[in-house]
Amino acid sequence: MNSETETAYILNRNNASSNELVDHLFRHEAGKMVAVLARIFGIHNIEMAEDVVQEAFLKAAQTWKYNTVPNNPSGWLMQVAKNKALDIIRHAQISHQYSAEVSKRIQAETENTVEQFFLDTEVADSQLRMMFACCHPSMHAEDQVALTLKTVSGFDVAEIAKALITNEAVIRKRLYRAKQFLKENRIELEIPSGKILLQRLDMIYTVLYLLFNEGYNSLKTDELIRKDICAEAMRLCLLLCEQKLCGRPATFALLSLMCFHASRFDSRLDENNDIILLQNQDRSKWDKDLIARGYYYLNLSSTGNHLSVYHIEAAIAAEHCHTASFEETDWHRLLDMYNMLYERKKTPVVQLNRAIVLSKLDQTEKAVDEILHIENLEKILNTQYIYNAVLGDLYMILKEKNKALKYLEKSHSLTTSKAEKKLIAEKMQRMRHEKNGHV
């Protein structure tokens, strides 16, 4: 579902509120508006750009609540932001005491220039430039990720903290540090070339990957899948694909991965918003057009001799998409691919997913052992529900009910998702029935 379709859908819902529409548009439009305004004011004035955008959305919330929502809400917001930008520039010109004739000529030139910045092609170009500026290699890597999620993708501090598995105070510190760096070093909004391009692209991939993952398995209490966030990640990745310098194999592979995962949206939840596990999903509901698009970008990614982690993850997702049923899944092939992935990406989440595949190959004890040897596991188990949930499932398979309940209870306490809590609670209830001798 694209941004325009989603907006129309929200507008037509009987119970939709203007606040809901404003929240939706903020996710899709704020990053574009900040990027355009940063090009006008200079990225060292990024806080001014953010303030203008906040004012535009505040005005929308106040105006639309009592009046009819405009036919083109996105255009309305852009116009408000543009007018505010012009007001700031005019005020600056007046403060320089230009003569009336010179001031009139400058005003006309300024309006024409600002108008150009708000054209669709310039909006897209501005956002690309902003992504590269936020991922400046002289900044700390964690600052780059936080700044990009905040500025380009409209994440709030709490969402960034959850995505990066840290607390809000840390994120505020990272954002402050990043903005100070941009201000003090007068960083240019530009798309670099050569080695600098490749350095920054790697970080941009990381940001888009995190962005999509947050939407795909959201930590939001009442919404497991946030299609708007996934759509934004895919839109930004498509921008990279369409840019000559950035349209590289790894870029195509990342977009391919997103397409394969997005194709399964409609089969992951039932009409009550309860989770449907992969083995129980109706594969006829998987979006064939998105799967075809995933294969298209996967084929584009096959040029050259560099194999990125996104190539391997896209291949894993493709393996699931082309298999007719869960029972026909080639787990041996998936294990080979996870082994290859782990050689390049030695992260806890890869180890966890590899362990799940081992269990499918009747190696559940080995799977548990590998998870228990994950570095810093104790800290991970105290903060992340998914590791506890998987251990609970594996101990259920091994018929070790006490251990299974222990990890499921911990998982239930950690997740904020109502859908996840319900699924885990059902597993715990089933385990307790079995412990008490019930069939």
DSSP string, 350-391: HHHHHHHHHHHTT-HHHHHHHHHTSTTHHHHHHH-HHHHHHH
Q: Pick the closest to residue 34 from 52, 21, 20, 16 (CA basis).
A: 52
Q: Is 426 helix (H, G, I), strand (E, B) or coil?
A: helix
To the question of pTM greater than 0.85 for the whole model, the response is no
Per-residue model confidence (pLDDT) at position 66: 76
In three-state secondary structure terms, 275 is strand
pLDDT (0 to 100) of residue 6: 45
Check residue 262 and give its pLDDT.
94
pLDDT for position 121: 62
Backbone φ/ψ region at 376: left (φ over 0), alpha (ψ -120 to 50), beta: left
- Which amino acid, one-letter code, is at 374? I
Tokens 């699924």 locate to 423
Helix (H, G, I), strand (E, B) or coil at 324: coil
The CA radius of gyration of the chain, in Å to the nearest whole number, is 24
Q: Which among 140, 171, 129, 160 is positioned nearest to 43, based on CA atoms? A: 129
Number of Cβ within a 10 Å radius of residue 382: 11
- The Cα 329–Cα 267 span in angstroms is 17
Ranges in the chain, pLDDT < 50: 1-16, 98-103, 105-106, 109, 439
Cα of 131 vs its chain's centroid, Å: 14
3 state DSSP class of 198 = helix
Which residue, among 45, 56, 44, 39, has the nearest Cα to 113 in the 3D structure? 39
Q: pLDDT tens digit string along 70-124?
A: 888 888 888 888 788 778 777 765 555 544 444 454 455 455 555 665 566 666 7
Instruction: Give dist(CA 212, CA 195) in Å, integer.
Output: 26
Rounded distance between C-alpha atoms, residue 37 and residue 47, angstroms: 10
pLDDT at 153: 78
